[in-house]
Amino acid sequence: MAAPWTDSQLAAELAAKNGSGWVIEVAGAVVGYAFFRTSPPESELLHLVIAPERQRQGLARSLMDWSLQYLEQNGVCTCLLEVRDSNKAARQLYATLGFSQVGRRKKYYCGPVEDAVLLQRDMKELNGEGHENA
């Protein structure tokens, strides 16, 4: 898979008390995963990976739809993430999921050096509920 975490990184994330992770399996093989770190009312997407041969099949969208629904049902109102500025496909996916740009982190990524675009999704506003403290 593209930019996968090491086994030790995956194990550490699975053991994190405020972490949530989901995988997609096809024919018994893991073809994608998403990990979030959550501190209600906020959550942050740490990593979303789909195997290259399974990309552009709707798996990332399905995984994100399910994950965001679960997080919202468990008290999350806002979800944040960073994405490479050049990753147009991911940025388009996140836009269709209701994320909008709220910032930029200069030279955040290396190999190659690149800015990160900071995105946010306000789940309550998307569902017509608004903020209690807005």
For the chain (134 residues), the mean pLDDT of every run of 10, in chain order, is 66 85 90 92 94 93 94 94 96 96 95 95 67 39
Q: Are 42 and 87 in contact (CB under 8 A)?
A: no
Instruction: Give the pLDDT score at 123.
Output: 87
Q: Which domains does the chain have, with CATH numbers?
A: 7-126 (3.40.630.30)
pLDDT at 4: 61
Catalytic residues: 82, 94
pTM of the complete model: 0.84
The pLDDT, as a whole number, for residue 6 is 78
